[in-house]
Amino acid sequence: MTVKEYNRSVEEFADSVYRFIRGNLKDEARANDIVQDSYERLWRSVAEIEYIVVKSWLFSTAYHIMIDIIRKEKRMTDLEVIHEQEIIYESQYTDLNEILHKALDLLPEQQKSSVMLRDYEGYSYKEIGEITGLSEAQVKINIYRGRVALKNFIGKIETVL
């Protein structure tokens, strides 16, 4: 990959990688750090990577950096495990976007990432598998379970609106 292609990848893909990571972490500063780390790693490997695979390489690298950060944080603090029964939400809100983000935050990390890559970024099951390191079947399972949990959390659309 050339320097020109590297700069083009920053212009074309940095925003979507940032949105994906920020959507998972809900922390703008850490999302910026992860995107920057991903591009730093890309720069170190610029001679070995072709421009054709840069987008999936960046998403995959950013995803793995994010997972490493999450694992490190889990070791430092005790977090309660959220069971699927607790994902059901009873009260009424008028802001559907707020409800959806609350529901996404309650999903296990693999389900959340899979759903976001599929529904927000438009990746295929195969591409999501390459990014996350999961099999295509496991990606489909994570997306299905994530969507069911989101549906249970949100409930009937009539109660939200």
Judge if 155 and 114 occupy the same domain.
Answer: yes
Look up the domain containing 65 and give its range: 1-79
Find tokens 């609350």 and name the residue. Answer: 102
Judge if 46 and 89 occupy the same domain.
Answer: no
More confident residue, 92 or 33: 33
Judge if 117 and 159 occupy the same domain.
Answer: yes
Cα–Cα distance, 153 to 116 (Å, whole number) = 17
Tokens of residue 73, six digits: 């944080």
Positions of E strands within the chain: none
CATH of the domain at 31: 1.10.1740
Tokens of residue 83, six digits: 């069971």
Of 34, 54, 79, the residue at which a domain comes to its end is 79
- pLDDT for 78 beyond 50: no
- pLDDT for 104 beyond 60: yes
Judge if 93 and 69 occupy the same domain.
Answer: no
φ, ψ for residue 156 (rounded to 5)?
Answer: -75, 135
pTM score of the predicted model: 0.52
Cα–Cα distance, 93 to 49 (Å, whole number) = 47
Judge if 159 and 130 occupy the same domain.
Answer: yes
Per-residue pLDDT band at 146 (split at 50, 70, 90): confident
- pLDDT for 22 beyond 60: yes
Residue 76: the pLDDT is 62
Residue 79: the pLDDT is 42
Helix-helix angle 3-25:28-44, to 10 degrees:
150
Question: What does the pLDDT look like over 111-123, one tens digit per residue?
Answer: 888 888 888 888 8
- pLDDT for 159 beyond 60: no
What domain count does the chain have?
A: 2
Cα–Cα distance, 81 to 44 (Å, whole number) = 38
